[in-house]
Amino acid sequence: MVAGGMRGITAMLYETSLLDAEEGIRFRGRAIPELREKLPKARGGEEPLPEGIMWLMLTGEIPSEAQVRTLSAELAARAEVPKAVFDALDALPKNAHPMTQLSVALMAMQPESKFAKAYQDGAHKTTFWEHAFEDSMDIIARLPAVCAAIYRRTFKDGTLVAADASLDWAANFAHMMGHDSEAVKELMRLYMTIHVDHEGGNVSAHATHLVGSALSDPYLSLVAGLNGLAGPLHGLANQEVLKWLNETREKVGDNATKEELTEFVWATLKSGRVVPGYGHGVLRKTDPRYTCQREFALKHLPDDPMFKLVGKLFEVVPGVLTETGKVKNPWPNVDAHSGVLLQYYGITEANFYTVLFGASRAIGVLSQLTLSRGSGYPIERPKSVTSQWIEEKFGKVEA
Ligand SMILES: CC(C)(COP(=O)(O)OP(=O)(O)OC[C@H]1O[C@@H](n2cnc3c(N)ncnc32)[C@H](O)[C@@H]1OP(=O)(O)O)[C@@H](O)C(=O)NCCC(=O)NCCS
């Protein structure tokens, strides 16, 4: 465990979701298909509103339509972004990765932290959760405008689209990016709902949780998590998947045989790279978040060549990864599918995909951060050892 990235160590309390290796993620005990059915939807829409899963994670209860609409309105009321954020973004080189921009933008907002101010003013520790909640609400409320600004300054002409307070959180997000079709809004609702949380041990959740345990405020804590999400083995994999799919298409074309695809997958492995979108630290089956995105694609874009390619790769990649003899989970994860849906609706800028993941993940990790402050969770301080200590205790270990 000490040499293997702490796999399998049960080491923290994390209430908002729990991951089962075979069944996948459950949010407060409820699986994705159940939530897709039971969480409130937008009028005329079929996908759940992310405000609903946020409510569920914070309270343990499925909200009513009225409760979700109240939460949407509350987020819209808090959505104004301070000017310092735009100044900070403008000071960055235009080619700064969108995740770097997100990190900087949130840091530019940190001076407004109500948690940090309350702590400095001597707040009693039993009230910490209230200040963490206030900051979390402010951050989540502002994320659509912040992320949309990053999108439009990096990939479009830099003009910003004004918020529409009558829309739900995810629909307004799509609107501010400049994507206004109902179909994109539905995709954003689904996307923002399924990426929120994946129990506590993944890099983004754990980093947020760890930094928060030092009573760093929610801005500082979330940025720690997002910087972890920006790693290619974690959240950046969604960007890598689209690039790899494009590369696959370029090399073998749209009508590749299984043999040609198999050869291409082997070529990826032999070049010393991973196959992005496959494998997992905990899951041992196909990720239900992959499956629900596939269902969405079957309904909305069944003939898209990229979607067909994803389906064909599903028939090939697990066999190849199994044949390597070392990959513990050869099945696809959430990232294997998300980019294909986004590109279909014109969001083709792969480097932006992790920002979308991050906006959703913020909802999960900040909900847990609020709960952790409420439960008085202590500062984390696990034990480490040196390899010399291991040798002294157990003798020399052969590599
Ligand atoms: C997610 C991931 C980091 C989990 O890592 P892990 O828990 O160490 O996975 P395993 O225990 O199965 O790894 C054992 C070996 O298989 C390799 N492996 C795992 N998944 C692989 C993949 N998709 N492609 C190629 N090799 C892979 C690992 O790199 C490791 O090789 P090594 O012993 O030479 O270092 C890994 O599966 C991966 O890199 N996947 C691709 C990136 C990705 O999709 N990330 C998003 C995750 S949601």
Q: Cα torsion for 145, 150, 153, 156, to the nearest 10°?
A: -90
Decide if 173 is inside a domain.
yes
Same domain? 108 vs 228: yes
**Pocket-testing residue among 278, 293, 337, ligand 1, by greatest number of atoms within 8 A of Cβ:** 278
Banded model confidence at residue 270, pLDDT cuts 50, 70, 90: very high
274 Cα: distance to centroid of ligand 1 (angstroms) = 7
Number of structural domains the chain divides into: 2
Decide if 379 is inside a domain.
no
Pairing relationship of beta strands 24-27 and 30-31 according to DSSP bridges: antiparallel
Decide if 365 is inside a domain.
yes
Same domain? 52 vs 160: yes
Q: What is the pLDDT of residue 94?
A: 83
Same domain? 266 vs 290: yes
- What is the Cα–Cα distance from 297 to 216, expressed in whole angstroms? 40
The domain of 263 spans: 237-344
The reply to whether ligand 1 has any atom less than 6 angstroms from the CB of 318 is no
Decide if 168 is inside a domain.
yes
- What is the Cα–Cα distance from 192 to 50, expressed in whole angstroms? 6
Same domain? 191 vs 94: yes
Please identify, by atom number, the ligand 1 atom nearest to the C-alpha of residue 328. Answer: 12
Same domain? 79 vs 150: yes
Hey, whose CA ends up nearest to atom 29 of ligand 1? Answer: 274
Same domain? 287 vs 368: no
User: Is the pLDDT assigned to residue 109 strictly greater than 90?
Assistant: yes
User: Is the pLDDT assigned to residue 322 strictly greater than 90?
Assistant: yes
Concerning whether 124 is annotated as a catalytic residue, the answer is no
User: Is the pLDDT assigned to residue 398 strictly greater than 80?
Assistant: no
Adjacency order of strands within the sheet including 24-27? 17-20, 24-27, 30-31
Banded model confidence at residue 399, pLDDT cuts 50, 70, 90: low
Banded model confidence at residue 396, pLDDT cuts 50, 70, 90: confident
Domain of 335: which CATH number?
1.10.230.10
User: Is the pLDDT assigned to residue 127 strictly greater than 90?
Assistant: yes
Q: What is the pLDDT of residue 30?
A: 98
Same domain? 288 vs 360: no
Decide if 55 is inside a domain.
yes
- What is the Cα–Cα distance from 169 to 192, expressed in whole angstroms? 10
Decide if 367 is inside a domain.
yes
User: Is the pLDDT assigned to residue 397 strictly greater than 90?
Assistant: no
Same domain? 196 vs 213: yes
Rounded mean pLDDT of 153-173? 96
Rounded mean pLDDT of 327-347? 97
Please identify, by atom number, the ligand 1 atom nearest to the C-alpha of residue 4. Answer: 8
The percent of residues above 90 in pLDDT, for the chain, comes to 98
Same domain? 293 vs 182: no
Domain of 206: which CATH number?
1.10.580.10
Please identify, by atom number, the ligand 1 atom nearest to the C-alpha of residue 235. Answer: 46
The percent of residues above 70 in pLDDT, for the chain, comes to 99
The reply to whether ligand 1 has any atom less than 6 angstroms from the CB of 281 is yes
The answer for residues whose C-beta is within 8 angstroms of residue 398's C-beta and 6 or more apart is none
The answer for residues whose C-beta is within 8 angstroms of residue 387's C-beta and 6 or more apart is none
Concerning whether 280 is annotated as a catalytic residue, the answer is yes
> How do residues 186-245 score in pLDDT, each as one tens digit?
999 999 999 999 999 999 999 999 999 999 999 999 999 999 999 999 999 999 999 999
H helix intervals, 178-329: 182-194, 203-213, 218-229, 237-252, 258-270, 288-300, 305-323
Same domain? 224 vs 360: yes
Decide if 77 is inside a domain.
yes
Query: What does DSSP assign to residue 278?
Result: B
Rounded mean pLDDT of 353-377? 98
Hey, whose CA ends up nearest to atom 25 of ligand 1? Answer: 274
Considering only residues 94 and 336, tell me which one the structure prediction assigns the higher pLDDT.
336
Decide if 385 is inside a domain.
no
- What is the Cα–Cα distance from 265 to 263, expressed in whole angstroms? 6
Same domain? 227 vs 244: no
Same domain? 120 vs 33: yes
The reply to whether ligand 1 has any atom less than 6 angstroms from the CB of 235 is no
CA triple 339-358-245, angle to 5 deg:
20
Hey, whose CA ends up nearest to atom 16 of ligand 1? Answer: 327
64 Cα: distance to centroid of ligand 1 (angstroms) = 40
User: Is the pLDDT assigned to residue 368 strictly greater than 90?
Assistant: yes
